[in-house]
Amino acid sequence: MKNAKQRTGSLLVALALLGAGGLLSLMAGGGAARAQGDDKLRADILSIDELKKFGPLTQPPVVFLHDKHTAALGKQKQFYKKECGTCHLSDKDGTMFLAYQRDDKPMDADRIKETFHANCIGCHKKMAEDGMKAGPTDVQCKGCHNGNPDVASNWQPLVVDKKLHYRHAATQAESENKCGACHHIYDEAAGKTIAAPAPEKVPGACVYCHTESGTDVKGRKPEKIRSLRLATHGECVTCHRSIAAAGGKDVATGPTTCAGCHGPLDQKAIAETSRKKVPADADLRIKRGQPDFALVRPVKAEKPLVGADGKPIKDYGMPPVPFDHKYHESKNETCVSCHHAALTSCAACHTPAGDEKGGYVPLEAAMHKVEALQSCAGCHAAQQKKPECAGCHASMKKGVGDVSQCGSCHVPPQGALEQSVAEFMERRDKDAAAMAPGLAEKLLAGKRSETATIAVEDIPETVTLGSLAKDYQPSVLPHRKIVLSLVAGMKGDKLAGAFHATDTTVCQGCHHMSPASKTPPRCGNCHPAVEGTAATPRPTLKAAYHNQCMNCHTAMGISGKVADKAPGAKPVPKSTDCTGCHAAKKN
């Protein structure tokens, strides 16, 4: 009976705690958001969750801080004997495995678990015994399996941009085969990878072969192609380390820590060093025998077309697209920006109808898909997000929405070129390939490289918007200033120049949906002055004015800020600053 009473007592206590706990957490209102200091943002977080592939985890993954471990072990004497070998095994050739305390052979769940538990805790214990600061030594799971870590990742992928590539190439300037120092190819005869013998043989970026998760190629030896992660850590970090080991502390080499490559601050430092080290006049172009110009061949019927009457039908196809390859190289940091899977022509994977190799993206979409940054239209649409462009383009349809734009890329050949282009389209042989660059250059010759508009004196200086004036005085628009500053924003932009093909193209940013002209129709011609109770998609005049002006100012990021540097220039009014555009009426 006493026992029962005790039990009831403890049950009641437990209940009270439960109730109090519930009430307290209700009061707290929602989960406790952790304050995150900058020192808690790290690039070296490894989540040890290898048992995930064997089923749901019974414990939260271990949050392992790699740099913290290397730094701590680096202070130890015996670390210099074993270095990475303290934690990582190597094969007989001395190649280190990236996994912890094991090779790359598959292991079952129990052994993986045992490997971590025995070695991690063992090492911590040993260090603690030796009187050193060590990680958790107890067998309480939470010490390592902390589901609520106080650190967060700021890991960034590392991009080897042209400057970084230049710096790496420069280190090999003396060597005979400088590309081969890093770039390797698989040699079937040798059954292993060898250094790429010549620039043209370089397959391109690492990611072309070393995919995110690695691949297995049947019949190849070895069958496994390492994942990008294993390949880059295996090659880059090893190289950096060996240089440091050979030359000592004074020889400049690349980073070997996680944060060194993947920390945002370190990446900034790398960019800064590149800026200093790479001469301003250096030729950053990565030369691999690529053409300066190319002629992109649109989809064309494979077989000659034949009509119902048996007679051949003339194929009026799209003209090819002249492409300034060299210029585009200069505007992109890596080849991967466009050649996302291989340094071949787009059509090698993206067939006209689309197939498995090209992810079922047909050739047409590969060029025009707005959502894809690798496509022409997608990349150009991304350029339009720059503040200088966004004023007009934010509210315009992106990509190939406007069919009148087709000719901007598919340049219609004029005069003598017409014949050459027709010939190019007919033939698929080597001669056709050879004539492409020259032809493309000629086709592009007519393109503007600068945006231009009508003569300054033809641009009205001010425009007064007063038809709706009621609560405010009419708004006086500094029309010419606006046009000129828009054009000034496009200075030196070849892309803008090529696409703003006529003098009135720029005008159409505001004077939209009506024929381009020096004297476009008034806004009120289309936008009704009074809003009715029947909803229409076309805004009324008041909304049209406000939308056009405010949206542009906002998209260009100039609202509420000084737009030009002239002394005494007034800031572009904020959207909510009514009197900034039209003065208040005096009553």
Interaction site with other proteins (CB under 8 A): 11, 15, 18-19, 21-30, 370-371, 397-398, 531, 533-537, 539-540, 542-543, 546-547, 550, 554, 575-576, 578
Residues linked to residue 463 through DSSP beta bridges, in sequence order: 477
Helix (H) or strand (E) holding 294: strand 293-296
Nearer to other proteins, 23 or 265 (CB): 23
Closest C-alpha among 344, 399, 397, 347 to residue 373: 399
**Minimal distance, residue 24 CB to other proteins, in Å:** 7
Nearest Cα to Cα of residue 570 among 586, 554, 558:
558
For other proteins, give the closer residue by CB, 12 or 132: 12
Q: Whose Cβ is closer to other proteins: residue 179's or residue 370's?
A: 370
Phi, psi angle pair for 186, to nearest 5°? -90, 125
CA distance 315 to 298: 12
For 283, residues 6+ apart whose C-beta sits below 8 A from its C-beta are none
d(CA 408, CA 234): 46
Q: Provide, rounded to whole angstroms, the least separation between the CB of residue 575 and other proteins.
A: 4
Q: For residues 474 and 466, is the Cβ–Cβ distance under 8 A?
A: yes
Element (H, E) at 29: none
Shortest Å distance, C-beta 13 to other proteins:
11
Provide the angle, in degrees to the nearest 10, between the axes of the packed helices 162-171 and 264-277: 60
Q: Which is nearer to other proteins, 497 or 580 (CB)?
A: 580
**Cβ 102 to other proteins, closest distance in Å?**
36
Min separation Cβ 528 and other proteins, Å:
12
User: Please, which residue, 99 or 468, has the CB nearer to other proteins?
Assistant: 468
Bridge partners (DSSP) of residue 225 are 215
User: Cβ closer to other proteins: 30 or 37?
Assistant: 30
| Nearest-approach distance from CB 179 to other proteins, in angstroms | 39
Q: From the CB of 21, what's the least distance to other proteins, in Å?
A: 5
Q: Which is nearer to other proteins, 23 or 348 (CB)?
A: 23
Q: Which is nearer to other proteins, 480 or 527 (CB)?
A: 527
What is the C-alpha to C-alpha distance for residues 150 and 268, in angstroms, rounded to an integer?
A: 25
Phi and psi at residue 179, to the nearest 5°: -65, -35
Q: CB of 547: closest distance to other proteins in angstroms? A: 6
Please give the Cα distance from 455 to 459 (Å, whole number).
Answer: 7
Q: For the chain, give the number of residues.
A: 587
Least spacing, CB of residue 537 vs other proteins, in Å: 5
Show contacts of 510-516: CB within 8 Å, 24+ apart.
510/392, 510/548, 510/552, 512/396
Could you give the CA distance from residue 73 to residue 88 in angstroms, rounded to a whole number? 13
Report the residue number, 178 or 398, with the smaller CB distance to other proteins.
398
Nearer to other proteins, 453 or 559 (CB): 559
Where does residue 414 rank: exposed (0-12), middle (13-18), buried (19+ CB within 10 A)? exposed
Closest distance to other proteins from the beta carbon of 401 (Å): 9
Residues facing residue 359 across a β-bridge: none
State how far the Cα of 183 lies from the Cα of 194, in Å rounded to an integer.
Answer: 9
The amino acid at 298: P
